[in-house]
Structure 1
Amino acid sequence: MRLLFTCMGTSDPVRGYHDGPMLHIIRHYRPEVICVFLSGEAAALDGCGARLDTVLSHVQNNWGGYAPELRVVRTQIEDPSDMDAVGAPITEAVAALTAEFPDGEVLLNLSSGTPQMKIALAFLAADLRRSMRGIQVKNFERASGTTERTNAPDYSVADELECNEDEAPDAPNRCSEPELMHMQRQRAKEQLLTLLDVRDYSAIYTMKNLPNQLKALIGHLDARDQMQSEAARNYAQNLKLPFSLYPVRTSAPRSDYAEVSEAYLVLLNRSHRQQYEEMILRLNPLVVRLELQLMKTVLAGKNLRLEDVIDRPYSRRPRFVPDMLANKLPEVYQSVCTYFGAPLRESDVSMEVCYRILEHLPDVPVDAMPVLKSCNLLNESCRNSLAHQLTAVTAEQITAACGMQPAQLLNQVGKLIASIYPECDPALFTIYKRCGDYIKSKIL
């Protein structure tokens, strides 16, 4: 079904013995439903001369059985030159029409009404999320028009229809469908900025007409956010940026810092998007790795290796074997047993077990324990329920659980990473924002 949404201006319905834009679109597109939007002035003109009813009767009697449904939206808009006054009512009226006919093809008349009405309809036509076609109609004089307008006191719609030259079989079709490329580009830019602010890189990457360098950078950020490190580096290898995507301090020892830092960046993005459930689930394995790294440093001062206390500490699933801890650090083992109130059992390494071991080890950095405690409290409060059901978590719940807002907690985790790994350059922690600012500078 084809639907026409149109305002009625002072060239409608017929002016100078030629179709006005509204009637010309009806003539050449034959919509089944015609929705006419009237300002207060236009409604008064139509009421005085019954113009729309006269046009509908003429069409039904002279256009080979064509009988469209006419709908009229009468408003009390006093000043149709006020963008704020016309924008919302027009948008709402179009939305109501599309909601009633969700599968209909909507035509928007871009040539009738005040300039502000035309702008509002042009924005709707340029909206890439909607299936609408903007139609413009050129004046038959190929200029602004010199004939008497339809709001003149002596205007007669019946006389104009009777002598309408566009009724002739060979009358030209003055309709066209502008591409509205500038407005579409502006809408696309606004959409990109919105997606960039929420860091939805997957959605941005699917957008058309992105410059190659920006598309590669977006691809890099998307892959990196998905922890696809190889793909991220492939995207990055040909990028020429005024900053490093992987800032790191030189002369640093080899470690698991690259994986830890990338996992931390993912947490920052999840917090930025308020995806707190995923943030909490991903926080646990990261904190365990930080705890093990801290443990490694402290044990080195006792001439012990991490693998003397933790089985397979550098694997994907390190194991806690009680006998190993009891053999190398009996006092620590006893303290941890006392806390749990029972002999310890072999298990996968957990955040809490690591925290309790560190709690009873000497020389653990003073600043490390408070943030680990907060992470442990959050884990105890939220993670178990999240692991077994779809549970929404709010920032307020996180604050109540650990005493810090999500951003504050992650900021403390970032400081802990920087203190543990000498190769850490804190500039890395703002890399997504820096890339976002760079992208904005290239499209604004």
Structure 2
Amino acid sequence: MQTLISCVGDTDPIRNFYDGPLLHIARGIRPEKIVIVHSERSQEKHDNIVQALNSIPDYYPEIVTDKRTIKNTDIFLFDKMFEVLSKIIQEYARSEEEIILNLTSATPQIISAMFSINRISGLNVRAYQVATPSNTSNEGIKHNNQQDIQQLIESNKDNRKDYNNRLIEDKAEKFQQLLVRKTFLDLIREYDYEGAVQVISGNDLMLSKKKKGKLHHELDNLIKSIKTQNLLPEVENSEFDVSQRTILNAYLLISLQAKRELNTEVLIRVKNFAEFIVEMYLDKNYNGLIVRYDGKPYLNIEGFEDVVLKLRYSLKKAGNELNTDRYLSLPLYAEIIRIIQPDSSLLKLIDKVNGVNTFRNQVAHGFKSINMKNSRVKDLAETCWMLLLIVNDVDEKWRSYFEDKNKVFKEMVGY
């Protein structure tokens, strides 16, 4: 028995009047059984997938949904996907005669895991990639996920006898190299540098030993900085002072997490980032207003009596009391700035961060899930950049730091 094992991507089941990868493999190979491995995100389109598969003329496959559902937070993790998909494929391979894998649907990490399993499993496995109808990138072509499935099926140009078969079997060494290279570039495009290193570690990128070593070195240095919060190499070699380098590095890591849609990390970090900015600003412009004990900032009540008096009054109006024995945090910093510079751009930015502080605490301390419609996480990286400009005269080039890095990595593999 031939069994197709496939995850589900945004291009499934039909996109731009043509088969998505899953539907096209089923149409071309006609396996007796199709095992669909869903992520939480793709479950909602299951009925559409089944209807599309059943629309193939004179074809009646057994369609099975695997009992394991991949979490949305895991679909971007190569190691996790390799572990999960290996178990699934091995289980079906014990009872099925021949396994077919879909190498085109879903995230680059899932595709990379499928590809790796195919190359090293030693099982009776065949794998297929599906070219786009135009044999070019899908970039810019809208998804059809919200359209009526019956209309999509009726307008599907592949749903005929003389359709153009776009299957490419993973069996040639050159294709293997090209697929590794494509997967590497997809991971780089998604800023998944660790996944990119894992892909090239055991595979051929058609590079000389020297070039591959240099690529490894560049990626390893970048990954180490991201994992440990060490200064990124370009930041460490900049002419900024220690505090400016620290906060610039913090901004870059927050911007990277925002690009990767690691929204919980962004939400948790942004408050600390804003506090660091305010402390730098006050140290420079109101020297002595903040004093530190055991590394924590406190309000200096000596020499700033007028600020303290106005702060007590402001807090009392809001039903709160000023406790000078407590170390300072962002909400209190906002009140201090409101007193000394009520019309400053700094205050407006702090208020933006404080606007998500309650939700941030629920996420950080109560493990609350993020509702993207309510959290305003997407705006926080931009807010961090504006905060950074207040204390650090940084060039605009730093905003595109990771895009520029990606460009270098692409050039290193000849893209």
- The whole-number CA distance in structure 2 between the counterparts of 1:330 and 1:84 is 66
Report matched runs for 1:121-160 at 5 Å. 127-130=115-118, 131=121, 132-133=123-124
Describe the shift of the 1:370–1:342 C-alpha distance in structure 2 as closer, same or farther (beyond 3 A). Answer: closer
Give the match for residue 183 of structure 1: 175
Contact map agreement 1:198 1:273 (CA 8 A) in 2: yes
Give the match for residue 375 of structure 1: 353
Give the match for residue 197 of structure 2: 205
- Does 2:282 match 1:295? yes
Q: 1:320 aligns with which of 298, 313, 322?
A: 298
Report matched runs for 1:109-124 at 5 Å. none
- The whole-number CA distance in structure 1 between the counterparts of 2:30 and 2:225 is 39
Describe the shift of the 1:85–1:328 C-alpha distance in structure 2 as closer, same or farther (beyond 3 A). Answer: closer
- The whole-number CA distance in structure 1 between the counterparts of 2:96 and 2:175 is 21
Contact map agreement 2:215 2:409 (CA 8 A) in 1: yes
Q: TM-score, normalised by structure 2?
A: 0.57
Q: 1:87 aligns with which of 22, 25, 35?
A: 25
- Does 2:187 match 1:195? yes
**CA displacement, residues 127-158 of structure 1 (integer Å, 9 cap, x when unaligned):** 323334579xxxxxxxxxxxxxxxxxxxxxxx
Aligned to 1:320, what secondary structure does the other structure show? Answer: strand
Contact map agreement 1:418 1:425 (CA 8 A) in 2: no
Q: 1:281 aligns with which of 259, 262, 268?
A: 268
Q: 1:360 aligns with which of 335, 339, 346?
A: 339
- Does 2:365 match 1:388? yes
- The whole-number CA distance in structure 1 between the counterparts of 2:190 and 2:335 is 37
- Does 2:391 match 1:420? yes
- Offset of residue 104 of structure 1: 5.7
**CA displacement, residues 71-123 of structure 1 (integer Å, 9 cap, x when unaligned):** xxxxxxxxxxxx998623438657549587344686579xxxxxxxxxxxxx9
- Offset of residue 194 of structure 1: 2.5
- Offset of residue 35 of structure 1: 4.6
Aligned to 1:353, what secondary structure does the other structure show? Answer: helix
Q: TM-score, normalised by structure 1?
A: 0.54
Aligned to 1:312, what secondary structure does the other structure show? Answer: strand
Contact map agreement 1:312 1:319 (CA 8 A) in 2: yes
Structure 2 residues without counterparts, runs of 5 or longer: 5-20, 36-61, 63-88, 101-110, 127-169, 206-211
- The whole-number CA distance in structure 1 between the counterparts of 2:95 and 2:302 is 72
Aligned to 1:101, what secondary structure does the other structure show? Answer: helix
- The whole-number CA distance in structure 2 between the counterparts of 1:85 and 1:340 is 61
Describe the shift of the 1:328–1:216 C-alpha distance in structure 2 as closer, same or farther (beyond 3 A). Answer: farther
RMSD: 3.7
**CA displacement, residues 196-233 of structure 1 (integer Å, 9 cap, x when unaligned):** 22222222222324611111121122122224426x54
Describe the shift of the 1:103–1:332 C-alpha distance in structure 2 as closer, same or farther (beyond 3 A). Answer: farther
Give the match for residue 441 of structure 1: 411
Aligned to 1:199, what secondary structure does the other structure show? Answer: coil
Report matched runs for 1:216-231 at 5 Å. 216-229=217-230
- Offset of residue 180 of structure 1: 2.9
Contact map agreement 1:263 1:286 (CA 8 A) in 2: yes
Query: What percent identity do the matched residue pairs reach?
Result: 13
Q: 1:342 aligns with which of 316, 320, 332?
A: 320
Describe the shift of the 1:325–1:36 C-alpha distance in structure 2 as closer, same or farther (beyond 3 A). Answer: closer
Describe the shift of the 1:433–1:365 C-alpha distance in structure 2 as closer, same or farther (beyond 3 A). Answer: farther
Aligned to 1:319, what secondary structure does the other structure show? Answer: strand
One-letter amino acid of the counterpart of residue 312, structure 2: Q
- The whole-number CA distance in structure 1 between the counterparts of 2:370 and 2:355 is 15
- Offset of residue 367 of structure 1: 2.0
Number of aligned positions between the proteins: 279
Q: Whose radius of gyration is greater, 1 or 2? A: 1
- The whole-number CA distance in structure 1 between the counterparts of 2:24 and 2:292 is 69
- Offset of residue 267 of structure 1: 1.1
Describe the shift of the 1:389–1:187 C-alpha distance in structure 2 as closer, same or farther (beyond 3 A). Answer: farther
- Offset of residue 263 of structure 1: 1.0
- The whole-number CA distance in structure 2 between the counterparts of 1:297 and 1:407 is 30
Give the match for residue 289 of structure 2: 309
Give the match for residue 101 of structure 1: 92
Aligned to 2:402, what secondary structure does the other structure show? Answer: helix
Contact map agreement 1:214 1:439 (CA 8 A) in 2: yes
One-letter amino acid of the counterpart of residue 221, structure 1: L
